[in-house]
Amino acid sequence: MWAQQSSSQTRRLVALIGVARDAPAQAAYAQFLQELEKLGWTSGRNIQIDERWGEGNLDGILVQAKELASLKPDAIFVLGVRALTAMHRQTETIPIVAVGLPNQYVENRARPPGNVTGFTISELSMSGKWVQALKDVAPKVSRVAFLHQSDNSATPGYFPSFETAAQSLGVKSSVMLVHDAAEVERAIETFAHEPNGALILPPDVFFNTHRDLIIRLASKHYLPAIYSTRHYVTSGGLMSYGPDYQVLHRQAAGYIDRLLTGAKPIDLPVQAPTKWEFVLNLKTAKALGLDVPPTVLARVDEVIE
């Protein structure tokens, strides 16, 4: 049975945020808390919120998930695949709302049958859009490497669309499997030995944790790269195409509100992002020797100069 209490009782919510506690992540989480406040949930009055930040450390996330589950909350919010996996191991009864829900995680998206629902952060077909964007911004690109952190079970779902798009555009596709930062550095260094290469970085806490390293290597080797979130671009990356995480966090707060007022996960369909952002760093483009076509600039949602 799902935990239900009278409206006069204080509810308990726990949050496991699997990413580093950096400015973009904190801004998105602040939107989650603000939306809860708008919906009538005030910390210290009718809700108690316990949060943990995983910093991308899988072992730490597992420990934090166990700690949070032991608090026997009424609902759980998680961000990221690793945080979701860790928390779901601890409970199959307490309702969980996830941002970053893998596309294959729930069998019935319209009526999730278990205790997990939430919001995906991508469509698997978007990997084809990443390839297209690279060709549009850097027409000389003839090789594209898709980085895959070996512990992320969600990433392989992108490969079919990636390979199909690369073939249709006459681009050689490859997947670079990495496990740690040293392997990322070696893989990019090796890939850069041949000309006209480009990189795709899918959504992954691991890549986010090593964002500065990856951006530095792409710049050093003159490799155009596309990322899944805008904060890579504000940090000096070339471009990104992905969802607006602040919108997703506000929507997640709405689902938490509904769970706390009697709904069950089966009542809350898994949703795909409704707002997408294409962000381009013109300064980085110039440093890479790229002359961005006006047709591309017309499609960009935000230009960083």
Each domain of the chain, given as residue ranges in start order, spans 11-121+244-274, 126-242+277-304
Residues 240/279, Cβ–Cβ less than 8 Å: yes
Q: What CATH number matches the domain at 11-121+244-274, 3.40.50.12280, 1.10.3720.10, 3.40.50.2300, 3.40.640.10? A: 3.40.50.2300
SS3 content of the chain, % helix, strand, coil (to 5): 40, 20, 40
Q: Which segments of the chain have a pLDDT < 70? A: 1-8, 56
Residues 113/267, Cβ–Cβ less than 8 Å: no
Q: Single out the residue of 222, 242, 218 nearest to residue 230, CA to CA.
A: 242
pLDDT score of 82: 87
Residues 96/116, Cβ–Cβ less than 8 Å: yes
Q: Single out the residue of 134, 74, 106 nearest to residue 268, CA to CA.
A: 106
Query: Which residues of 66-113 form beta strands (DSSP E)?
Result: 75-79, 96-99
Q: How far apart are CA 300 and CA 278, in angstroms?
A: 5
Quick one: tokens of 122?
Answer: 């991508």
Quick one: tokens of 135?
Answer: 């060709």
pTM for the structure as a whole = 0.85
Q: Which fold has domain 126-242+277-304?
A: Rossmann fold (3.40.50)
Q: How far apart are CA 241 and CA 129, in angstroms?
A: 8
Q: How far apart are CA 218 and CA 195, in angstroms?
A: 13
pLDDT score of 8: 56
Helices and strands: H and E segment counts in the chain: 12, 12
Q: Are strands 197-200 and 225-227 parallel, antiparallel or unpaired?
A: parallel
Are domains 11-121+244-274 and 126-242+277-304 of this chain identical in fold?
Answer: yes
Query: Which residues of 192-289 form beta strands (DSSP E)?
Result: 197-200, 225-227, 239-243, 276-281
